[in-house]
Amino acid sequence: MDKIKIKAHQRGLIGKKVKVLRSEGKLPAIVYGKDVEPLPILLDLREATRVLRDVSRSSLLTLEIDGKEYDALVRELQRNVISGEYIHIDFLAVSLTEKVRTLVNVVLEGEAPAIKDFNAVLITGLDRVEVECLPSDLPEKIVVDVFSIESIGDGVYVKDLIFPPDVEILEDLEDMIVVATAPTLIVEEIEEEVEEEEEVEVEPEVIERGKKEEGEETEE
């Protein structure tokens, strides 16, 4: 994979004033790390959106800040809850000689024979797994071919995932990634949940708002 590089500049504006920068097509961010003091930076929103479109938490990238380069991982992406536009990014500066812990996405591919032969329903479990390794050894993703799921009850578990030899898996090896279930079991579970809800008075659910933009209450 080609080296991912993003250009940025150190920014002086923080707090509520960053809203002005966003209106100018800029994206506020911050980079920090073990030996890096938190550094507020500014990216071009359009360029950052294009570059980060296919970047995951395990994608090693290079931040070029006013001519100085930092190896980094994306630690948090904040978006506008309405438009979906990036509003803030946290970058973790890393050393290529020190191991890091992060999450790697699990991607399901193919078609399980159990779906066609037994009308099975695939139930997914973990879609990310935590690993530890050197930043340069981080896999972009782990691809799982569900063609091995042939019958009801067949599944893929963490122990079945194939990782590079220098990557340590930190999850329980018996945790489920995906399993084939009979459709009748799904219907029975739904009916049981409905019956329980009818018997218990339930308070209205409060949906938590998206994270506050930088500067609404605290400064970064």
Domains in the chain with CATH codes = 4-95 (2.40.240.10), 101-195 (2.170.120.20)
With a pLDDT cut of 70, the percent of the chain lying above it is 80
Element (H, E) at 63: strand 61-65
Element (H, E) at 9: strand 4-10
Q: Give the Cα separation of 167 and 162 in Å (integer).
A: 10
Provide CB contacts within 8 A for 185, sequence distance 6+. none
HSE, side-chain direction, 13 A CA sphere, residue 165? 0
| CB contact at 8 A, 89 and 27 | yes
Average pLDDT, the chain: 83
Phi-psi region of 47 (alpha: psi -120 to 50; beta: other; left: phi over 0): alpha
Residue in this structure with the two tokens 């507020």, named with its chain if needed:
40
Q: Could you tell me the pLDDT band of residue 195, with boundaries at 50, 70 and 90?
A: low
Please give the model's pTM, rounded to 2 decimal places.
Answer: 0.74
| CB contact at 8 A, 159 and 130 | no
Q: Between these two residues, 130 and 214, which has the higher pLDDT value?
A: 130
Instruction: Give the residues across from 178 on adjacent strands.
Output: 124, 156
Task: Calculate mean pLDDT across residues 159-184.
Answer: 93
Query: What is the per-residue pLDDT across 52-97, written as a single tens digit (0 to 9) for each?
Result: 888 888 999 999 999 899 999 999 999 988 888 999 999 999 999 9
Q: Give the Cα separation of 166 and 100 in Å (integer).
A: 12
Q: Between these two residues, 209 and 196, which has the higher pLDDT value?
A: 196
Query: What is the per-residue pLDDT across 91-130, written as a single tens digit (0 to 9) for each?
Result: 999 999 999 999 999 999 999 999 999 999 999 999 999 9
DSSP-derived secondary structure letter, 165: T
| Of residues 73, 80, 75, 101, the one with CA closest to residue 90 | 75
Least confident of 76-90, 162-176, 190-204: 190-204
